[in-house]
A and B are shown apart, each in its own frame.
Chain A
Amino acid sequence: MSDEVKGLIDVALKGDKKAIARLITLVENDEETAREVVRRIYPLTGKAYVVGITGPPGSGKSTLLDKLVKLAREEGHKVGVIAVDPTSPFTGGALLGDRLRMQRHSTDPGVFIRSMATRGSLGGLAKATNDAIKVLDASGYDLIFVETVGVGQIEVDIVKTADTVVFVTVPGLGDEVQAIKAGLMEVADIFAINKADREGVEMVYLELKMTLEFERDKWKELGWEPPIVETIAFTLRGVRPLWEAIKRHREHMESSGRLRERRAFRAREEVKTIIASSIARKVEERLASGEAGELIDEVVEGRLDPYSASQIVMEKLKEDLWR
């Protein structure tokens, strides 16, 4: 590892925000450096509790988060926030606008807010989100909020990241069929119906309640039934009950042993992701070779089927992987 990175880590661990910010940039921009950084700081991680906030675009995730940060600060937590917004698949650029709802916390020494662009990831988070969390964790932030991009139904990466998942929804999005579909609804630990002064809030409540009812046995076994909290982030109504629900869930996770289970699942997913991405890179390298080009030509001309071509490439890959 370069001395520069080492020095940066030392300063970051002392709490220097500039160094922390720089480290997050490094783990975001360069996979090799990310490996080195994580290797070095990993023994210091695992102390932070991670709360995920997810839900459709415009449901008020950032505004709710702003209020939650305030309550968490009042209780003495050092709070890290990672807010993810999408990268344009067309230009590679991004406009990160979650932070502007939380700017009053910018100058609070006990808060660190970082905006992150998805840079091609499709699961609602950025590839480097987990590593950024580790940097904040090791630097002494004991409560970390992660806000996903505005999500639809299947962007469930947040379960691979958060200890508690809050799903924020709003009235008026659709009928009860939406609520019983697969995906995100299944991973939430707490539901918040934000903008609860709008028409239709009773319907959303009933639909969520019914969906949960279907899975009564599952909740019984887990010892936790996801509460549904009505909130109006703007006037603070329901925000404290939401915060209390988060704390109750944390207590449940810690006392029931489920936290350990979830983190084991997460560690497994993380290892899997790293392996898959290393292999994917090797595959790309292999396919870029002239040899592979000839194989592809054969597939195009119909002399070789794609399965057989893959088999040949995979044989070669063995050498790349164990080299």
Chain B
Amino acid sequence: MVDRSKVRVVIAKPGLDGHDRGAKVVARALKEAGYEVIYTGIRQTPEQIVETVIQEDAAVLGISILSGAHMVLIPKILKLLEEKGLKLGEDVAVFAGGIIPPDDAEELKKMGVFEVFGPGTPLKTVIEAVDGAVKNLKGFRA
């Protein structure tokens, strides 16, 4: 079992939509589960998000997006992470949430996102998925 209180999670909200209820609910749920959660606030650029992951030394990045721009913004974030030398699934685990159609979700998973959560996902499911992803990271493997 991973000591959650030593795992840092960044919850980020890229793009122009300001609907951050979902991001805050997930951030709070992960906090309640014992994680250390950093919330970036709304309207973040991919560069800001990646810099936040780096400076906060986060193991997990959750991206919340409801604007429809997920197939532009999420791949850009993933690319920037890799460029900065952070390997997906090794150094940092990335998940997404919001209004993301199933086909796009599949596509994102192929790119290295470990899970995509839609509206109505039980918080327990999110927490368990994060637990699972953390266990597979280089720094937390038993």
Contact = CB atoms under 8 A, between A and B. Distances in A.
Interface stretch (B40-48, B67-75, B104-112): B40-48
Given A93-B37, A114-B56, A103 B44 contact: yes
Contacts of B6: 29
A107 interface: yes
Interface residues of A, number: 30
A100 B55 CA distance: 13
A94 B55 contact: no
Given A95-B39, A100-B40, A117-B36, A18 B54 contact: yes
B94 interface: no
Question: What is the size category of the interface that chain B forms with chain A?
Answer: 20 to 34
Interface stretch (B27-35, B118-126, B130-138): B27-35
Interface of A is mostly: mixed
Interface stretch (A19-27, A144-152, A297-305): A19-27
Interface string A112-129: 111101010000000000
Interface of B: 4-6, 8, 27-28, 30-41, 44-45, 47-48, 51-52, 54-57, 84-86
Given A93-B31, A107-B47, A99 B54 contact: no
Contact of A106 (B35, B48, B84): B48
Interface of A: 17-18, 20-22, 24-25, 29, 87-88, 91-97, 99-101, 103-104, 106-107, 112-115, 117, 119
Given A93-B4, A119-B5, A24 B39 contact: no
- The winner among B52, B56, B86 for most chain A CB atoms within 10 A is B56
Given A91-B31, A94-B37, A107-B51, A21 B56 contact: yes
Contacts of A17: 51, 54-55
A112 B55 contact: yes
A113 B55 contact: yes
Contacts, number: 87
Nearest to A102: B41
Given A21-B55, A95-B27, A100 B39 contact: yes
Contacts of A18: 54, 57, 84-86
Contact of B39 (A87, A88, A96, A106): A96
Contact of B57 (A21, A93, A104, A113): A21
10 contacts: A21-B54, A21-B57, A91-B34, A92-B34, A93-B32, A95-B31, A97-B38, A100-B40, A103-B40, A103-B41
